[in-house]
A and B are shown apart, each in its own frame.
Chain A
Amino acid sequence: VNEGTNNRTVTEFISAVSSTYQRDVHPIHIVRLDERTLNLFILAGQNEEIELEIQPNGSIEP
């Protein structure tokens, strides 16, 4: 994770994914930095439909 990316955001996002449904499993497939934009890309979900980019300022782009 690059220094600009807000670690609190990442931690809270992963916590949100994990706790969304107690009975469901939301696997996280990819957590990867786009070195060009310094956005962190996360691909998750049973059908790989959850996509989010965390920007260096901590905002999230679905």
Chain B
Amino acid sequence: MNNVNYAAMSDRELKRYILTHRDDREGFYAYMDRRRSRPRQVTIKLDDPAWQEKIISEIRIKDMSLVRLLNPQQHEDILDLGCGDGKKTKEIADSGARVVGIDIWDSGEDSCNNLEFEIKNATDLDYNQEFDAVFSNLVIHHINSPKQVISSVWNALKPGGRFVAEFYGDGTAKEIILALQEVMSYHNYSFDINKDFPWYLPTQEEYCNLLINQGFEGTAQSIFPPQKRRIVDICRWLEQIPFNTEKFNHINDYFEEVQKKVRCQLFEDSQWFVNYQHIRIVARKSE
């Protein structure tokens, strides 16, 4: 036995630890146990005819930036769904592809050459088989009508086109969301996590099923270890979430109570943090 507190390390810290302390068997076991406690992914069986494709897909999807995973080509038309300030849109356009960035707010960037920005809602796009690929970086979880988004993406893609996206999934901010539900319930509000928390946080399986139901095929997906992100505090973090204030008119008054509830889980070394669970998918529209 040694005195190393593995439980206090984040997944990334523990991974770094086992890389630098290769003779510490307990540390290695602690990491393996943590891997097993995560949501299970599909096991790739040895007799699977697509064994090699699935392994390669797993390697590609995890080890590259989302833009590199998109792999934009000069002759392609690409839609950046939820482009925000247009930073990634420009990065895609550097490949020479024609890129259209859409968001519900003005990106503040001017359209030029192979780069266009438009104000549009992702659930109500009017594109018809115009794009070789649809790209979306950390936006989908903000839209609580996933079927409409997937349908819009499907219509926007040419046959054979690809949908490459990363978003927050099930497990994101789970401590805060559960505490909020408890506090709201204590104050006689009926707060349903699935309906009343404005973010859409699916499991990997749920989202892939929606894609398959739409007709997408060859979906590759990957779930990353939870990432800790430092924040000012829980109250400020919750203030940025667009709750339905007509239904929960005093919700902001209860954020302090939520913060107290999660303090032992989300406050370390005089610093607040939130856990984010990232999911990546790559899906293809059938020819």
Give A contacts to B, CB under 8 Å. Answer: 6, 9, 12-13, 16-17, 20-21, 26, 29-30, 32, 34, 36-37, 39, 41, 43-53, 55, 57-62
Contact = CB atoms under 8 A, between A and B. Distances in A.
B46 interface: yes
Given A16-B55, A45-B63, A50-B59, A60 B44 contact: yes
B58 A34 contact: no
B46 to A, nearest CB: 4
A54 B19 CA distance: 19
A57 B63 contact: no
Nearest to B28: A32
Contact of B41 (A36, A50, A61): A61
Interface residues of B, number: 26
Given A13-B55, A17-B59, A43 B15 contact: yes
A43 B31 CA distance: 12
Contacts of A16: 52, 55-56, 59
A22 B11 CA distance: 30
Interface of B: 15, 18-19, 22, 28-29, 32, 35, 40-46, 51-52, 55-56, 58-60, 62-63, 222, 224
A3 to B, nearest CB: 16
B55 A30 contact: no
Nearest to A37: B32
Contacts of B19: 29-30, 43, 48
A9 B62 CA distance: 20
Contacts of A43: 15, 19
B52 A49 contact: no
Contact of B32 (A34, A45, A48): A34
Contacts of A20: 56, 59-60
A26 B63 contact: yes
B35 A53 contact: yes
A45 B46 contact: no
Contact of B15 (A13, A48, A53): A48
Given A9-B46, A43-B19, A59-B45, A49 B62 contact: yes
A50 B45 contact: no
A38 to B, nearest CB: 12
Contacts of B222: 62
The 9 closest A-B pairs by CB, nearest first: A58-B46, A45-B63, A49-B62, A60-B44, A16-B55, A62-B41, A62-B58, A59-B43, A20-B59
